[in-house]
Structure 1
């Protein structure tokens, strides 16, 4: 293994185990076998320095634009994948992590619509007034999306799964650059009826509603495999947006049987849904192998936000889950917080990229954000958009290849209905709408336990000024 040394002089990918988080419990829910996910978080991993520990095999010359497959899990927690130490069985995600590059400081937004908007626009979702799950019209009329950009570059573009970036009949996938669409429009559906929580129909093909039998995970996977196996000359962009492990959960017995000893039962449902999704991801990877497309396909896997703590409703989904309280769902440990929070547990998620011959394997600890992928993929396919794209993201390919040069302090930004947050280098500022302000040094305190706002008044003022400046572009 060829190891690159970070600018701090330490080798990322190993290092001392960080201090135990105050109040940290053993993984007592039966779904984390050890504290393996804590290994290797020392040194540069907790800091804001750009650097990756990689194995040889990156930066072969580009011959043709690659196929691109983006796989998005829904509400998958940091500690809910095998390669982070979970006992949830994710052999195919783990295989991808061994073959690809693990992105250990990959940030998203705390909820679903904002992350998806950031992914396909390269801009912070607050630039569109999106700070939470949203419906209706999302994008400005002149917005150039990632699928539209790739379509102009000669790609066939397809989505299988969750849309949640606008409402039918007008604000649907094919309007925004997808040649073909399949899945559901809304934020979540019953996995079998495919209806939204209000009872509204949501399942569609090419933006036209249809009724179809089967579990959503299986249908989304089958469509993704169909797109991959369809003969075509042009490269393809395939966006696979799974519905799990977002509630409501209702899994086939085959997957539940893997976790009969897990309590509470809602955690069993959650684990089963993750393994079910993992099996689908395996089928997608196998389809790439079977069609000899593995070597010329870039695969990105990421969760849309951190895991959710719990859920229950007596009325949604026609009351089908009234007696099925989801009391325990995701696991974001060791990070603080849940889905919806701007603490690390809500915004720092599992992520992997694999592009054989072009990107190395190993791990990368460079801080990056979901908004980085549109400018990065534009560079990968050789597209230079005309005019000012107003991207908030940047091309992170040099960081992925371990050749980012001198240490660069990233400034990352989040806005939710309740708070705004800024990460600048190792420092993270959170300003809540109620006036409360918190400041953390993530290099020394990755679990956000010690608020330094009162101890660092000058730094606090500088970060507040940066926050005010970056939020000017919000709509």
Structure 2
């Protein structure tokens, strides 16, 4: 055998060896999952699988996401603040021609460059009006799930294309897809079970010569409140109807994660898999979720809307069984995951930081501040929404404008110590909190420290100088599922 041919074999073997030693990554997102609703936060809801994974890994107790669905997912997948992608106002509604800009390289695209098999199962919700914005066009080898933001857990149908526009209130269509094909054969299959099984199938069929990336944004535990009756039995003591169903939904999700980890062990790759678990925003107290003792809930810039449940499980963690109190943000997952995949993001304009050493070894966080958001408001249908913004620098957090409801809501049935319900929050206020000393945001320091308020306002102004214009287009009549065989699919291919 010639020396150049032998060298070629050695090179190929080295590449295969390198690919196989990279960790597989399972990234799980729980939808509308409350800060109080995981077992290790003293919840009455049972989450034995999540508790065990978190207890064997590193719990993140100073971890931040966004107040609502699309902004968190866009920041997770792009590694960029929403002010830099134009998604700083709200979610993407089904009839809106919007999405993460195509010039942003998404996380799965980068991982594919690094030799990963990439799969997404569950909720997309970052744009689908054109085919180019759908998961299989943005780095995923396969996609099984739904493109909009919510739907029925059993029929997998979605109604209403855009709120406030009567013409599309009754638009309804199937929203379940395998790659680019509409799936109509799973009517009656509960989505948590369906998505769990699809991930298990991916694991079972995976070629271990390559590392695996699975993105699992569960539908659970977003409304509508639906769950098989068997999951309600442990919670019959919960009198509140919504809370009882919600608890069952959490249990179904917890069981699903357990079944997936069993599949990883059976496949023999659990020891070389990094599991990241995150919420997408605070729990929705109107639909059973709870964020006690934090203030506010989904949709607000109070801690209850943006402080997330998060943990990492991996055999390579040096600090296993610990709790991390360093500042971590959802944009940090992009560079952290690429670091785990032996990649480089030094040439990319990201807002996240590689936090692996902080999580694994308790080194100081590379992050000293978090821009929670700057939403200038939008005008649509002759109605203008309110301005609001928030930033955290070190221990101090500034909120200005309209942060949304700032009540403290205990779980149903728990007595409310001290003051809980707040009904007189001004829509143009200014609040300053020492979040480290006062995570419940009970002591406004804005009048006491005006210089600090001015300092944080200047930081907000500096960020705003880098912001791109908000993209929040009106609904497009061509999105109507009735025009597309009663399915939610890309509709604009011009």
**TM-score (normalizing by structure 1):** 0.80
> What secondary structure is seen at the aligned counterpart in 2 of 1:420?
strand
Check conservation: 1:190, 1:197, Cα contact below 8 A. Answer: no
Separation in structure 2 between the aligned mates of residue 141 and residue 215 of structure 1, nearest angstrom: 33
Query: 2:313 is matched with which residue?
Result: 354
Q: Point out the more displaced range, 374-383 or 426-435.
A: 426-435
| TM-superposition CA deviations, 1:213-251 (whole Å, max 9, x none) | 300111110011111111302111100111111100111
Separation in structure 1 between the aligned mates of residue 234 and residue 130 of structure 2, nearest angstrom: 41
Task: Note if 1:380 corresponds to 2:380.
Answer: no
Task: Note if 1:207 corresponds to 2:180.
Answer: yes
Q: Which one of the candidate residues 400, 412, 422 is aligned to 1:431?
A: 400
Q: Point out the more displaced range, 405-414 or 102-111.
A: 405-414
Separation in structure 2 between the aligned mates of residue 152 and residue 69 of structure 1, nearest angstrom: 18
Check conservation: 1:108, 1:347, Cα contact below 8 A. Answer: yes
Separation in structure 1 between the aligned mates of residue 206 and residue 66 of structure 2, nearest angstrom: 36
Alignment of 1:49-448 (within 5 A): 64-131=21-88, 132-135=90-93, 136-170=97-131, 171-198=133-160, 199-211=172-184, 212-213=186-187, 214-232=189-207, 233-310=209-286, 326=287, 329-361=288-320, 362-385=322-345, 387=347, 389-405=348-364, 409-416=368-375, 417=377, 418=386, 419-432=388-401, 434-448=427-441
> What secondary structure is seen at the aligned counterpart in 1 of 2:275?
strand
Check conservation: 2:118, 2:212, Cα contact below 8 A. Answer: yes
Structure 1 residue 201 displacement after superposition: 1.6
Separation in structure 1 between the aligned mates of residue 310 and residue 176 of structure 2, nearest angstrom: 27
RMSD: 1.8
Unaligned runs of 5+ in 2: 1-17, 161-171, 378-385, 403-426, 469-494
Structure 1 residue 279 displacement after superposition: 0.5
Separation in structure 1 between the aligned mates of residue 190 and residue 361 of structure 2, nearest angstrom: 41
Check conservation: 1:182, 1:207, Cα contact below 8 A. Answer: no
Separation in structure 2 between the aligned mates of residue 172 and residue 357 of structure 1, nearest angstrom: 33
Separation in structure 1 between the aligned mates of residue 229 and residue 101 of structure 2, nearest angstrom: 44
Separation in structure 2 between the aligned mates of residue 406 and residue 218 of structure 1, nearest angstrom: 37
Separation in structure 2 between the aligned mates of residue 393 and residue 442 of structure 1, nearest angstrom: 21
Higher helix share: 2
| TM-superposition CA deviations, 1:160-184 (whole Å, max 9, x none) | 0000010245221111111100011
- Provide closer, same or farther for how the CA distance between residues 472 and 278 of structure 1 changes in structure 2, counting only shifts above 3 A: same
Separation in structure 1 between the aligned mates of residue 346 and residue 370 of structure 2, nearest angstrom: 25
Separation in structure 2 between the aligned mates of residue 193 and residue 97 of structure 1, nearest angstrom: 33
Separation in structure 1 between the aligned mates of residue 59 and residue 370 of structure 2, nearest angstrom: 21
Query: 1:465 is matched with which residue?
Result: 458
Check conservation: 1:168, 1:185, Cα contact below 8 A. Answer: no
- Provide closer, same or farther for how the CA distance between residues 302 and 264 of structure 1 changes in structure 2, counting only shifts above 3 A: same
Check conservation: 1:101, 1:359, Cα contact below 8 A. Answer: no
Unaligned runs of 5+ in 1: 1-60, 311-325
User: Which portions of structure 1, spanning 4 or more consecutive aligned residues, are displaced by more than 4 angstroms?
Assistant: 405-408
| TM-superposition CA deviations, 1:89-115 (whole Å, max 9, x none) | 111101111111101111000000100
Query: 2:382 is matched with which residue?
Result: none
- Provide closer, same or farther for how the CA distance between residues 260 and 356 of structure 1 changes in structure 2, counting only shifts above 3 A: same
- Provide closer, same or farther for how the CA distance between residues 158 and 281 of structure 1 changes in structure 2, counting only shifts above 3 A: same
Q: How many residues align?
A: 397
> What secondary structure is seen at the aligned counterpart in 1 of 2:158?
coil
